[in-house]
Amino acid sequence: MPLSATTVSVKKTFPPLLFFFVSFFMSFFMLMSIAQQTVASEIPAESSLEDAWKTLSQKNYNKKAGAIEVIAQQNPPEARPAMKAMLEGQLYYAKRGKALYFLKEVNDNYEFTPLFDTDPALKPVLQENRRGFKKVKVNNRLRRMIRQLLAVMQLKHEDADIRLAAVQELLKNPETEAADLVKNAIGKETDQRVITSMQTLLAVIQLENGDETAQLAAINTLANSLNSSAMNALTAYQAPTKALENKAQSAINKINDKRDLYAKAETIFFGLSLGSVLALSAIGLAITFGVMGVINMAHGELMMIGAYTTYVVQLLMPDNIAMSILVAIPAAFIVSGLVGIAIERGVIRHLYGRPLETLLATFGVSLVLQQTVRSIFSPLNRSVETPEWMSGAWQINEVLALTWNRLYIIFFCLAVFMALIAVMKKTSLGLQVRAVSQNRTMARAMGVRSKWVDALTFGLGSGIAGLAGVALSLLTNVGPNLGQAYIIDSFMVVVFGGVGNLWGTLVAGMSLGVINKLLEPWAGAVLAKILVLIFIILFIQKRPKGLFPQRGRAAED
Amino acid sequence: MLLMNILKNDKPGLWLLGILLVVSIAVPILNLLVPENSAFHISTYTVTLLGKYLTYALLAVAADLVWGYLGILTLGHAAFFALGGYAMGMYLMRQIGERGVYGDPVLPDFMVFLSWQELPWFWQGFDQFWFAALMIILIPGILAYVFGYLAFRSRVTGVYLSIITQAMTYALMLAFFRNEMGFGGNNGLTDFKDILGFDLRADSTRIALFLASAAALAIGYVLSRIIVSSRLGLASVAIRDAESRSRFIGYRVENIKLWVFVFSAILAGIAGALYVPQVGIINPGEFSPLNSIELVIWVAIGGRGTLYGAIIGALLVNYSKTYFTAALPEIWLYALGALFILVTLYLPKGIVGLWSLRKTRKTQKMREEKT
């Protein structure tokens, strides 16, 4: 029993500690009884609470412990913030008047706000130092007690998330005393997540203290839990019988298997989110390069323009970051699309039928666009603020959390893709685009205005590049070189998927993302990327026209 | 005899070789013999710069051989250049010996810094110049052979081929960035002291390197010219213009492509090897896909499929790059971008196309006068 052995040695070497504990508990119970008496003797609760608040400014830790107990029991609205501030060492009292204040550091200044803002005599104080104020000091024992009390208080909170957090807090340091409290609370509990974690907590306690049947039940409960405390409890568990030990071992294995499964799911999720970034940046190229045959080296710069549009939109509406992204999406589409149409009208229309030369001309365009952005916005990186509704994560269970921004990007990629497919398959523009890309002369003979179609197609591809830029601006810094970082990957994705095939682009982007993330754990990020590139090179040997080659005579030279 | 015949038909090439000869006689004299305060003096910095341009020109000839005559738009030719450069850099690194910062007689500084105990196997032998010279030819050659064998046998063509050449150089760049690879990682190889026992900072060594670059360019040009005038070259032009037809007639398209590609890669490797001692550093940035694209652009601006056009393009673009980045750094990218756009739009045959355009106009005029 390694755990108890250490505690014993501690007790042996530090007898004063034992004394400390005894005295602490004695004073604790005395104060408890006083508090109960005060309630029982119907002395107005206000006064004892007021005393308790005042006691916090005293030096004696035992008295403070009692006061905290009282505050926790009465539970006025100030109790929780005050206790939290105490934990973080941010509860202060004025040397004169002993009123309590919160401390907040603002740009090297200290701002003190009174705990009781109802009192007109007390005003927030902003000064350069902490003169005139003193910290409400807490020691480790008080800290532990406050944490426990906070958890107990929160068990009764009306918000289910807070109750859940409270149970999790108790789970980190499960103590036998909590068991009764939780047992009481579990009956009234309605939220399934809270009930599950409460059951886990009870099982952990049972595993340590219950009899053999209770332990067996506890193991069965814990085997279905993914909480790390459940795992710790099971590994530390000393089974009285062989059967129970086996049972515990198989429970541990079961948990580990489940965790591996969720870890794999998380890797695949990361892969899909990387894949959707790749696919998103490649979809526009799949139009300009795949459908029109223009090797568009300026594609990356069109993404960069989309990202800068997002940045500008945020500058224009600084008070409404949440909405700015939604405004930026159409704005980026329009700006990048217009720039794309300008490029097509100005440069590319002279070069149809000479695909390799479009590479040179568009590379020139990309240099000009980069320098333009440098001249307008300076070469420094800008950052786009992530709106609140995109931060945070979707907690599926205790080991698997999917961050919202990655999820949104996956959805965004799919939405853009579906919209594009719809345009290409269902609208007359899409029909004309396909006709021109298959046989330009024949399409013109049938009355398709090929010049107009070319400009619109290029604008569409560029607009989608702008949309990719909006997504990228939320992931990385916005700078003049943003596009260059993605252009090579985009070409790889389009070629891997098969030039001229939109579905191929999506599948290629997603699968390259997943392969990359699957390789990363054992190869490292850079080596994984190298391996993916080698894989593409070898894959093209096997299927020289990509995953989904175009069929028919038009595809032959 | 054969050579004379070939060169007789290549007037611009003869002019170019003549200018190269004049320059390589004049520059050493102007640098070493003319006193420094004279207006005709050429500084050692300029000599090195010219030497660098000449290695670029050789690289451009190599790229034109593949793009102009074989129809393969390579977006990864800088990889062969960089590999040749790394082979040379490894030799130069081993020459530093005990003069490094850490003073280790065998291990280069960066290995001592990474606390490696012994020299990796692939660094063995690079203390001998003959071995390094062999590797400068073999490593790019073998890579080109393996890559070309796989790609041409599978009949990967067009943009697909361009993109996988780009993937190749990109993968190599990422690989060389890794410290574990043993090529100095991010910083690459630098701090070279001497080559074949001559101090790299000495004016005479610089001149010698410049002359070596000029000679390599001349020999590389003549060899390429011989190849494109030979049956192999004619067959490769046929492949460029109609690959399937050439195959049906009975040419072994894969083999022809492969040998021209390997030869071109070796030329690029030699160019890289001459580049490194002159600029004094080689790092993974040389593998960057952008370098390969720039290379293609030199060829396009000069005029593809002419060989001399590639030389002119490389010299012109690089000279203007040096000039503009120093004089008008803000304007440089605008100018370069505009240059690419204008050349592709209005000069599809590059700058040398202007000359032939004038010639055809002249003959047209003559014909008109006759009638």
Cβ count near B173 (within 10 Å): 22
Q: Quick one: closest CA in B to A544, which residue?
A: B156
Q: When comparing pLDDT for A375 and A232, which is higher? A: A375
Q: What is the pLDDT of residue A70?
A: 80
pLDDT in tens, A541-554: 888 888 888 765 54
Residues forming beta bridges with residue A93, ordered by sequence position: A100, A134
The phi and psi torsions of A418 (rounded to 5 degrees) equal -65, -40
Percent of chain B with pLDDT over 90: 51
Can you read off the two tokens belonging to residue A467?
A: 């949309």
Helix (H) or strand (E) holding A133: strand A133-135
Please state, in angstroms and rounded to a whole number, the distance separating the CA atoms of residues A269 and A514.
8
Say if B195 falls within a structural domain: yes
Single-letter amino acid, residue B124: Q
Confidence of residue A29 (pLDDT cuts 50, 70, 90): low
Rounded to the nearest integer, the mean pLDDT of chain B is: 89
Q: Is residue B199 situated within a structural domain? A: yes
Nearest CA in chain B to A375: B330
Shortest distance between the Cα of B301 and any Cα of chain A, in A, equals 9
Q: Give every CB contact of residue B28 below 8 A, 6+ residues apart in sequence.
A: B207, B210, B211
Residues 6+ apart with CB under 8 A from B210: B24, B27, B28, B47, B48, B50, B51, B54, B278
For residue B274, pLDDT beyond 60: yes
Are residues A381 and A372 in contact, defined by beta-carbon separation less than 8 angstroms? no
User: Nearest CA of chain A to the CA of B327: how many Å?
Assistant: 16
Residue A68: Cβ within 10 Å count: 23
A542 in helix, strand or coil?
helix
CA angle, corner B133, sides to B131 and B135, nearest 5?
70
Alpha-carbon distance A137 to nearest alpha carbon in chain B (angstroms): 48
Q: Which domain holds residue B304?
A: 49-328
- Is a pLDDT exceeding 50 seen at residue A37? no
Of the ranges A25-29, A42-46, A97-101, B62-66, which one carries the lowest mean pLDDT score?
Answer: A42-46
Instruction: State yes or no: pLDDT of A226 exceeds 80.
Output: no
Q: What is the mean pLDDT of residues A224-241?
A: 76
The rounded distance, in Å, linking the Cα atoms of A182 and A166 is 11
From the list B163, B174, B336, which residue is nearest A491 (CB)?
B163
Chain B residues closer than 8 Å to A347 by CB = 341, 345
Q: How many domains does chain B have?
A: 1
Residue B132 lies in a domain: yes
Answer whether B333 sits within 8 Å of A350, measured CB to CB: no
B69 domain-assigned: yes
pLDDT of residue A23 exceeding 70: no
For A350-371, give the DSSP string.
Answer: GGTT-HHHHHHHHHHHHHHHHH
Query: Binning pLDDT at 50, 70 and 90, where does residue B285 land?
Result: very high
The mean pLDDT value for A442-451 works out to 89
Percent of chain A with pLDDT over 90: 22
pLDDT at A3: 42
Nearest CA in chain A to B245: A557
Across the interface, whether the CB atoms of B344 and A360 are under 8 A apart is answered yes
Distance between CA A242 and CA A239 in Å, rounded?
7
Q: Is the pLDDT of residue A170 over 70?
A: yes
- Give the pLDDT mean for A322-349: 93
Residue B350 near residue B313, CB atoms below 8 Å: yes
Is residue B343 domain-resident? no
Mutation choice for B interface testing from A531, A537, A553, A557 by most B CBs within 10 A? A537
B239 within domain boundaries: yes
pTM of the model: 0.77
- pLDDT at residue B296 tops 50: yes
For residue B37, report the phi and psi dihedrals to the nearest 5 degrees. -80, -5
pLDDT at position A309 is: 94
- Interatomic CA distance for residues B200 and B278, integer angstroms: 8
Q: How far apart are CA A59 and CA A55, in angstroms?
A: 9
Task: Report CB contact under 8 Å: B174, A529.
Answer: yes
What is the pLDDT at residue A26?
55
pLDDT tens, residue by residue, A254-289:
888 888 898 889 899 999 999 998 999 899 898 888
The residues in A 318-377 lying below 8 A from B, measured between CB atoms, are 347, 350-351, 354-361, 363-368, 370-371, 374-375
Task: Report the amino acid identity of residue A228.
Answer: S
- CA A515 to CA A507: how far, in whole Å? 12
pLDDT digits (tens, 9 = 90+) for B152-199: 998 888 878 888 999 999 999 999 999 888 898 888 998 888 888 888
Q: Nearest CA to A147 among A126, A112, A178? A: A178
Res. A355: pLDDT tops 80:
no
Most confident option among A249-253, B78-82, B245-249: B78-82
Binary contact (B336, A367; C-beta < 8 A): yes
Residue B272 lies in a domain: yes
Predicted local confidence at residue B264, as pLDDT: 96
Residue B341 has its nearest CB partner, among A355, A364, A536, at A364
Taking residues A239-260, report their average pLDDT. Answer: 83
- What digits encode the pLDDT tens for the residues B193-245? 888 888 888 888 999 999 999 999 999 999 999 999 999 999 999 999 999 89
**b/e map of A125-157 (b: 16 or more CB within 10 Å)?**
eeeeeeeebeebebeeebeebbbbbbbbbbbee
> How much is the mean pLDDT over chain A?
81
